[in-house]
Structure 1
Amino acid sequence: MIAGVIAVVLLLAVAAYACAGGTDYGAGFWDLVAGGAERGERPRRLIDHAMAPVWEVNNVWLIFVLVIMWTGFPVFFQRAFTAMWLPLALAAVGIVLRGAGFALRKPARRPARRRLYGAMFALSSLLTPFFLGAAVGGVASGRVTAATTASADAWANPTSILFGLLAIATTALLGAVFLAADARRFAAPELDGYFRRRALAALVVVAILAVVTLFVTHGDAPHIWHGLTHGVGLVFVVVSALATLATAWLLIRPSGAWSRVTAAGVVASAVLGWGTAQRPYLIPTSLTVAEGAGAPTTLRWLGLVTLVALVLIVPAVALLYWLDTRGELEGLTDADLRRQGAGDEG
């Protein structure tokens, strides 16, 4: 029972990271394709301005996922990281490089260094979600077993490649939707239209890839396919499809209100659908939740620590997002500093 509860918490944490962290990866994707220095200046300035207050906190969910995995499901952790060490190592390097690139490109004074750090940030934002998605696809297709060694087949297969492409497309969708909303908040209507058009294009790509993935899993990952077309998994697939239609409708409307919620619903429902489709397995047909779980005492303590962490972290993160969306975390401008200096002199 406790193992099942912890597995649900793990799945919810993965969904949270897919939505929150995916937004940042998507912003990096649009940074990559924004064009040259002159053409891409305004979109990149919006990306920097929108990401700066919140981008680092989104990695909290990734840390949460890793802690639950290695503490609550050590057998699963060992098998997954043994078979998938290469794509996961590349993803980890990408996370470090994109963070360094984002932090260093703005204060860099030389144009060549700014371009180097910008390319590091943008390319890592493309490669990191792909490798994370490819690793998930390898697990979902059942290619990770007790006898599996690190090999390209574990993550370079049809399901893995499609999961990786879906990860890129969904992060691009989230990034464009959130940036369009930020453009409206910053009173930049031309950038609102710019990112809305890209969000609609990404939404079409996500829908096409989702349909292709469903057909491919029929032969390459039959357990996942059955789970996605029956029971609770099918419910989440339908919810994701409805959220896709709602997102398209909201992006076409002038206000675009609630498009962030529905876009996050597309991604979260897809992740939850994949997780429930695997039931009762952590690795389809070879490792159940009960078999991969740690000792009951460890799980009970993990559950208690998780509850305390959620009570402390979730309200703080929610407050941060609330303050950011209302412009309360905006940095001081030169005009603000001049006004403050004049007030001090008076």
Structure 2
Amino acid sequence: MEYVIIGFLWLAILLYLVLGGADFGAGIIELFSTPANRSRTRKAAYQAIGPIWEANHMWLIIAVVILFVGFPLIYSTMSIYLHIPLVIMLIGITARGTAFVFRNYDAVVDNMQGIYNRIFLLSSFITPLFLGIIAGSAISGQINPSSTNFLSAYVFVWLNWFSVAIGLFTVALCGFLASIYLIGEAKNDEDKRDFIRKARNWNIIAVVCGALVFTAAWHDNIPLIRWILGNTIGLTAVIAASISLLVLWILVGRGKTIMPRILAGFQASMILLAITYVHFPDFLILKDGEHLSLFKHQAPNATMQALGWALIIGSLFILPALFYLYYSFQKDRFVEDGHLKS
């Protein structure tokens, strides 16, 4: 049953990265759009994420519940030593959702719309930034349970070059995912060309931020290259992601919209696979050399059995309903005159 639970945990993290990342990315690309086309980006993003943006957070909730119930030591360690970035991320999620509602559905249109808009855009950037920082902190080896100094225990565990670089890479990845997704939401050729240009720009930014991650890893003495390229699975994942990126741009050049979205999500999954496979089953790397493992540091067997069955049974009800929700708002993009759109 532990493999079932770990599978659900990995899938929840992946889906939050892909779907939630595209959601955050819509605000990110609007934030960095020029004033001339910011309203165009805002309109397309609203039409794409407006009805279903809240559903993306269920993947984060599932991951948190799995850690809380099934792996309490891992959950408590992260909650204690990473409480600052966790709180900032949660504030960002809450502020973003609230601002999105008020900037689009407020009964009174006044100067507050500008404030709501700025809150939405800034929280769209801050939230994935700290999500990536938390992920980087989990594998950076900076968490030190024996530390007696506030800064070293609760600040420098996440405020370091490697974790911040992971955060910036996450932001760039979200911008890329959103741009690819919004190509298919464009209502005319001008909008489509604009989102293709944004996707190319964010692709370049993601590559630069990826190089920054490896540079920061070298600076912080983290063997990231060996972690990713030192095993067959990691190397295969990198090659698969690179090939899929090339295919993605070929398809975009041919005017395709559905397959590029799938390939963009595939690239995100390969990135996650490459960095998580080498550490499995370890989830947290501590400074004293100890690793918190998904096998060794799990809840009692009775709890794991109950959690596993709850996830299996719950998924039979939740997943079909959720994907039907996505389909119901996107079916006009998939079906045209009875044929599947490419």
Common fold by TM > 0.5 = yes
DSSP 3-state at the match of 2:28: helix
| Mapped partners of 1:223, 1:9: distance in 2 | 28
DSSP 3-state at the match of 1:106: helix
Aligned length: 324
Displaced runs of 4+ in structure 1, greater than 6 A? none
Structure 1 residue aligned with 2:25: 26
2:183 equivalent to 1:180: yes
The letter for the 2-side match of 1:112 is N
Of residues 166, 170, 177 in structure 2, which corresponds to 1:167? 170
User: Root-mean-square deviation (CA), in Å?
Assistant: 2.1
> What are the residue-to-residue correspondences of 1:1-346 with 2, within 5 Å?
2-36=1-35, 39-108=37-106, 109-147=108-146, 150-183=153-186, 187-218=187-218, 220=220, 222=222, 224-229=224-229, 230-284=231-285, 285-286=289-290, 287-327=292-332
DSSP 3-state at the match of 2:105: coil
| Mapped partners of 2:256, 2:244: distance in 1 | 18
The letter for the 2-side match of 1:194 is D
Q: Is this contact kept in 2: 1:34–1:44, CA < 8 A?
A: no
Change (3 A) 1:223 1:40: closer
Change (3 A) 1:153 1:271: same
DSSP 3-state at the match of 1:128: helix
The letter for the 1-side match of 2:240 is V
DSSP 3-state at the match of 1:190: helix
Q: Is this contact kept in 2: 1:176–1:195, CA < 8 A?
A: yes
Kindly provide the CA deviation profile for residues 240-297 of structure 1, in whole angstroms up to 9, marking residues without a partner as x.
2222222222233333441100111111211122221212311135222223211111
Change (3 A) 1:232 1:207: same
The letter for the 2-side match of 1:188 is N
Normalization by structure 2: what TM-score? 0.88
| Mapped partners of 1:192, 1:166: distance in 2 | 25
> Which structure 2 segments of 5+ residues have no match?
334-342
Q: Is this contact kept in 2: 1:15–1:272, CA < 8 A?
A: no
Kindly provide the CA deviation profile for residues 57-107 of structure 1, in whole angstroms up to 9, marking residues without a partner as x.
111101101100111111001111111100110000000000001000123
Deviation of 1:219 after TM superposition, in Å, equals 5.9
DSSP 3-state at the match of 2:295: helix
The letter for the 2-side match of 1:322 is Y
Q: Is this contact kept in 1: 2:83–2:154, CA < 8 A?
A: no
> Which structure 1 segments of 5+ residues have no match?
329-346
Q: Is this contact kept in 1: 2:22–2:177, CA < 8 A?
A: yes
Q: Is this contact kept in 2: 1:159–1:221, CA < 8 A?
A: no
| Mapped partners of 2:236, 2:214: distance in 1 | 15
| Mapped partners of 1:137, 1:167: distance in 2 | 10
DSSP 3-state at the match of 1:279: coil
DSSP 3-state at the match of 1:326: helix
Q: Is this contact kept in 1: 2:71–2:297, CA < 8 A?
A: yes
The letter for the 2-side match of 1:180 is I
Q: Is this contact kept in 2: 1:79–1:145, CA < 8 A?
A: no
Deviation of 1:11 after TM superposition, in Å, equals 1.5
Q: Is this contact kept in 1: 2:16–2:60, CA < 8 A?
A: yes
Deviation of 1:215 after TM superposition, in Å, equals 4.8
The letter for the 2-side match of 1:45 is K
| Mapped partners of 1:144, 1:3: distance in 2 | 25
Deviation of 1:40 after TM superposition, in Å, equals 2.1
